[in-house]
Structure 1
């Protein structure tokens, strides 16, 4: 008779289980996303500066992108 995986000291994993089933946050992925957002904002700010858009320091990334889009 065949023993259950747990009895043999093996762990049984369900196929297709979500990697973050516990709800834990992947900190490395969160850091990468944060760095990407910062780089994107910096690049957009630099483009806005070259375009001569005023009030950049008080604008969000979306506001800067809109100002650039309407400037052209």
Structure 2
């Protein structure tokens, strides 16, 4: 009987540990999902900014061309 009780206690303890791990894993997954949503939104904003920057660069190039100004070469990286 002591052996059966000890096995029962061990199984109950393992069950509690598994429950805690499941809760932690659920929280991690939820955090990753939320992080993915934020990254997707940031990517969208960056794409919009890139489009605006290309438009500004094209406009600047057109103005410089109209004025007959050759812009200096960008520095090498």
Shorter-chain TM band: 0.3 to 0.5
The TM-score, its normalising length taken from structure 2, stands at: 0.42
Q: Which has the higher helix share?
A: 2
The TM-score, its normalising length taken from structure 1, stands at: 0.44
Work out which structure has the larger RCO, using CA pairs closer than 8 Å and 6 or more positions apart in sequence. 1
